[in-house]
Every structure is written in structure tokens, then in C-alpha cells.
Amino acid sequence: MATRSRNLPAILAGSIGLAGLATVMAGALVALTLTAVATPGGGSWDDYLWRVVRFTLWQAVLSTVLSVGLAIPVARAIARRRVFPGRGPLLRLFALPLALPALVVVLGIVDVWGRHGWAAKGLALLVDDGSMPNIYGLTGILLAHVFFNLPLAARLMIMHLERIPGENWRLASQLGMGAGAIFRFIEWPALRAGLPGIAGLVFMLCIASFTVVLTLGGGPAATTIEVAIYQALRFDFDPGRAVILALVQLGMTAVLIALGMRLTMPAVTTPSLNRPILRPDCAKLAGRVGDGMVIALAALFIVLPLIALTVSATAAPMGKLLGEAIVWQAILTSLAIGATAAVLCITLAWSLLIAAHAAKRMPGTSWWKAGFIMACGSGGSLILVMPPIFLGAGWFVLLHGLGEGFALAPAVVVTINGLMALPYTLRILGPAHASAAADHDRLCDSLGISGWNRWRLADWPVLRPAFGLAFAFAMALSLGDLGAVALFGSEDLTTLPLLILQRMGSYRTADAAGLAFMLAIFCLILIIGAERATAKTDNGR
């Protein structure tokens, strides 16, 4: 009875979170469905939709294989070299691509890898014909997706590798394991536990890709489901087709989540004495050279488009921009929306995690218990089936029908931005919560510590770094989001990404580059500050 009473508050919090999540998704879907029913002709399936679905799956599979496959050697190299010049800035740099508006980053990628970009000019010095392959089409989409998703996958893999106990490395040294044996028996099991979740997250992000495909797709032959939804709602105003596409996306993501749950192995939590990590595969010269080359190539791949963006920003009239009231309004609005969305995202993610854990600890088995645990585990990923443009369009139609379209616009933008960051937050907080629960559950139960006392004394000192990183990711993603605010934006609700889009639409590319540079600086400062603040877990008091 005592166990049941201790778990009920967590289950209630998770139930409220699931109810809010379902309300946002169902509200958008119902609004568009009712609009589709009221539209003459409704939606119909045709050859164009088949082509869209096939291309969406094909580019998502290729993007996932390339992103996750290349992230494995990058993560291993960085995890092996725990100390090298620039390691901290490199990891912070890996978080930056996701924080930038995709439209601006795509311009940097074109400046580097386009037919007349930096790579083409460098290639022209080596061969007579220095022309690069056409970046518009599948090639450009894959390149941009790898740019965005490789750093994300690498950072998540590094978290798994760094949780390997120091005793494992000591045993590997005693057994004289080489690099191959270490990967097979130590590193791969740690990666294998989280690989389905990481690959599934990247796959769903590629399925829901919007700006990248819109700018680099090159025409109707390279159109994904999300771009087709946008075209159906914005240009054709065909809610019937948009609903059909959204349901197809829902079905594909549901199958993916089911496969991921089937393939995911439970993470093995081994008690550790927190011994210093002394890896036996770090001393050889060949390993140092190989790791250095992998890290350098990965850093160069990420840095070059950002350098191109910086070079373009040097031509921007920064003094004039900083003197404009609309710029400061956009900056303050972006920071307010980003911080609020991050708090909402972390609150929702934590409620789902503790609710699923509490349900597992409840005595007995029942269908509602299994269903509740599954709903909490997959609820955060299900939000990816409905892109921001779809959720925004649904609530735009619903609120305008009630006469509250722009009055509630900030709340809708904050909610959608927070929900879109939920999968990232769960991937960061989930493993940390599981590890803390494995370490503290039995001890806290035996001492009768629960609720706020457990959080204050046992969980928060351990989970503080994960919460800081999750907040930084969520806020950075909200700062760079363009989906929801593109529909609800107005003179009273203008963010930096929306202002950048407006300046680019009016061919003021120098202003757009300067504003994008400001946004990059804000996101980098945010991530550095969050990581430094949360790193002081032992010296903060």
C-alpha cells in the first residue's frame, strides 16, 4: 500500500502530460478533418501521393544510414580521447546545427558544396573540370540531413559510451584487449542499447524534414510528406489531402516505433566505484592518428558551412541592425518563447519518465498498466508524426473559427515549440533517469525517502547535468524554429527566424546573414552557459 501511494503522484503527473499531448495533437487533426469534410471533393489518393511517400521513405532511409553510420566512428573517437585541445568547444559546436534556422544553414551549405562554392573552387585547383555535382535534389538533401543529424547522433552515442564503468576498462587492460575486442565486447553493447532509439529519432526527423527539402529538393520529383502537407494547406488549401498525408505519416511512424521497441535492448546498469577511466586503446600511435583524422574531418564538415555563414555576415550592416527596434523586439520575443518552451518541454518529459517508472514499480500486471507504460514511452516520439506546420495549421483553423486566432498565438507557438523538442529531451533525460533509478530506488525505499526529499537529496545532484543539457537543447531548438511562427507570426509576434525569412524574402541577404549570425551567437552562449552551470555539481554549494 505504501508503494502504491508513493507512485500515484508520478502516475497522475504522467496522465496529465499525456492528456495535454493528446489534446494538442487531436485538436489539430480534428480541426483539419472537419475542414476537409466541409471542403467539396475532400481528399483522394493518386500517383502523386505514391511518389511523395516513396521519396520520403527513400531519402529518410539513406539519410539515417549515413548519419548514424558516420556518427559511430566520430563518437568512438571523441569518447576515446577524453582530453584534447578543443574537445569542449567541439561538443558545443555539435549542438549548434540544430539550433540554427534550417533555411540559413542551407545557404551556408550551398556556399560550401554548391557548383560555385568553396569546395568547387578548391577542386578546380586540382583538376581541370572542378564542377561539383548538382546540390539540388537527393544529393543536397542527404548532405544537409547528415550535417544536421550526425552531430546529434554522435552526442547521444557519446553519452552512452561515457557511462561505461571504469572497472570495465581496468578489466580490458588486464586481459590485454585490442581495439577490435574492446569495440565488440564493451563499446558495441553500450551503443546497441541506444542505437534503435537514435536511428528512429533521426529517421523520423528526416521524414518530417521541411525546410531542407523545400529549398534543396529541386522540384516535384524530390518532395516529402511534410512539404506536400505545406503545399496542400498554404497554396492549394486542400485539407483533405493534408489529412491523408498526415495519417500516412502517422502510420509509418507507428510502425517505426513498434520496430524500435522490438529491437531495443534494455540498458545494462552496472554498479560502479567511479574509478578513473584508463582505456587500454588510447596509447598506440595509430589509434591517436586515426582518431585525430576522424575528429578533424567531422569538425571540418560541421565548421565549414558555419564559417561561410560568418563570412557572409561580415558584409552585414550590424550597426544598422542593432539600431532597429524590430530587431530587439524579435530578440526578446525569441528568448521569451524559447525559455518558456524549454521549461514546458522538460516538465512534460520528466512527468512521462517518472510516470512510466512508477507504473513499472506498481504491484501486479494488467492491460492498463502495460498500455500506460507504452503510452509514456512512445508519447514523446509520436509528436514527430505531426510536423509544426500541421499542428500550427490545425490550431490556426480552430482558433480562427472561435475568433481567437492571434490572441492565443504566443501560447500556441510556445506549446508547439516545446512539443517539437520533446524527443530530444527524452533521449537526454531518459538514460540519466534510468541510471539514477537503478542506483537510488532500493536505498530510498529502505530509508523511506520519497517525493521532494528524494528529489533534493538523491536525484537532483546526479541529474542536474542532464537537465541542463536538455534545457539548452530545447531552448536552442525553439530559438531556431520557424514552423509554427510562420503561420502565427505578426507585427506583434516576430521572432529572429521569422525576421530572417522576411529579410531574405525581400532580397536583403546581407541583413539576413547578420541576423543569422546573431542567432548563432545566442545559441552558442546558451549551450556554453548551461553546460558550465550544470557541471558545478560538487562545488556549487
Above 50 in pLDDT, residue 538? Answer: no
Mean pLDDT of all residues in 509-523: 81
Q: Which residue in 423, 422, 419, 425 sits closest to 484, CA to CA?
A: 419
- CB-CB contact of 521 with 359 (8 Å): no
Most confident of 36-40, 90-94, 295-299: 295-299
Which residue in the block uniquely carries the three cell numbers 550544470? 534
pLDDT at 111: 79
Same domain for 492 and 403: yes
Residue 157 forms part of a structural domain: yes
Cell of 376: 509514456
Same domain for 278 and 141: yes
pLDDT at 423: 83
pLDDT category at 347 given cuts 50, 70, 90 is very high
Same domain for 79 and 193: yes
Residue 330 forms part of a structural domain: yes
Under DSSP, is residue 44 helix (H, G, I), strand (E, B) or coil? coil
Domain residue limits at 511 = 1-42+316-536
Q: Give how many domains the chain has, as a whole number.
A: 2
Q: Which residue in 380, 417, 517 sits closest to 21, CA to CA?
A: 380
DSSP state, residue 493:
B
pLDDT at 176: 72
pLDDT at 539: 45
Mean pLDDT of all residues in 362-384: 73
For 92-151, the DSSP string reads HHHHHHHHS-HHHHHHHHHHHHSTTSHHHHHHHHHSS--PPPP-SSHHHHHHHHHHHHHH
More reliable by pLDDT, 40 or 209 = 209
Above 80 in pLDDT, residue 42? Answer: no
Question: CB atoms < 10 A from the CB of 440, how many?
Answer: 16
Same domain for 404 and 483: yes
pLDDT at 372: 79
Distance in angstroms (rounded) separating the CA atoms of residues 13 and 183: 40
Name, in order, each residue with C-beta under 8 angstroms of 161's C-beta and a sequence gap of 6 or more: 75, 76, 79, 187, 190, 191
Question: CB atoms < 10 A from the CB of 370, how many?
Answer: 12
pLDDT at 61: 93
Cell of 306: 558555419
Lowest mean pLDDT among 39-48, 190-199, 251-260: 39-48
Specify burial of residue 38 (Cβ count, 10 A radius: 0-12, 13-18, 19+): exposed
Above 80 in pLDDT, residue 494? Answer: yes
Of 313, 329, 348, the position where a domain reaches its end is 313
Same domain for 406 and 346: yes
Same domain for 110 and 85: yes
pLDDT at 371: 77
Same domain for 145 and 1: no
Residue 541 forms part of a structural domain: no
For 374-430, the DSSP string reads HHHHHHHHHGGGS-HHHHHHHHHHHHHHTT-TTTTHHHHHHHHHHHHTHHHHHHHHH
Mean pLDDT of all residues in 395-423: 81
Mean pLDDT estimate for the chain: 79
- CB-CB contact of 74 with 191 (8 Å): no
More reliable by pLDDT, 72 or 243 = 72
Of 313, 347, 381, the position where a domain reaches its end is 313
Inter-CA distances, 119 with 136, 241, 348, Å: 16, 40, 44
Above 60 in pLDDT, residue 55? Answer: yes
Question: CB atoms < 10 A from the CB of 9, how many?
Answer: 14
Residue 198 forms part of a structural domain: yes
Mean pLDDT of all residues in 47-76: 91
Percent of the chain with pLDDT over 70: 84
Lowest mean pLDDT among 234-238, 277-281, 326-330, 429-433: 277-281
Above 80 in pLDDT, residue 256? Answer: no
Which residue in the block uniquely carries the three cell numbers 561539383? 132
Cell of 331: 530578440
Residue 186 forms part of a structural domain: yes
Name, in order, each residue with C-beta under 8 angstroms of 217's C-beta and a sequence gap of 6 or more: 136, 137, 141, 223, 224, 227
pLDDT at 341: 94
Inter-CA distances, 113 with 118, 147, 512, Å: 7, 12, 20
- CA-only gyration radius of the chain, Å: 24
Of 313, 331, 347, the position where a domain reaches its end is 313
DSSP state, residue 164:
S
DSSP state, residue 39:
S
Above 90 in pLDDT, residue 63? Answer: yes
Same domain for 401 and 505: yes
Residue 228's identity, in one-letter code, is: A
Q: Which residue in 22, 282, 305 sits closest to 150, CA to CA?
A: 305
pLDDT at 150: 93
pLDDT at 164: 76
Most confident of 18-27, 67-76, 287-296, 438-447: 67-76
Above 90 in pLDDT, residue 146? Answer: yes
- CB-CB contact of 221 with 48 (8 Å): no
Q: Which residue in 282, 78, 285 sits closest to 173, CA to CA?
A: 282
pLDDT category at 277 given cuts 50, 70, 90 is low
pLDDT category at 429 given cuts 50, 70, 90 is confident
Same domain for 354 and 259: no
Same domain for 352 and 245: no
Distance in angstroms (rounded) separating the CA atoms of residues 85 and 10: 43
- CB-CB contact of 172 with 104 (8 Å): no
pLDDT at 540: 44
Percent of the chain with pLDDT over 90: 11
pLDDT at 35: 76
Under DSSP, is residue 490 helix (H, G, I), strand (E, B) or coil? strand
- CB-CB contact of 163 with 154 (8 Å): no
Residue 406 forms part of a structural domain: yes
CA 245, distance to chain mean position in Å, is 22
Residue 122 forms part of a structural domain: yes
Same domain for 341 and 473: yes
pLDDT at 205: 82
Same domain for 329 and 297: no
Mean pLDDT of all residues in 327-331: 90
Residue 158 forms part of a structural domain: yes
**End-to-end CA, the chain:** 37
CATH of the domain at 487: 1.10.3720.10
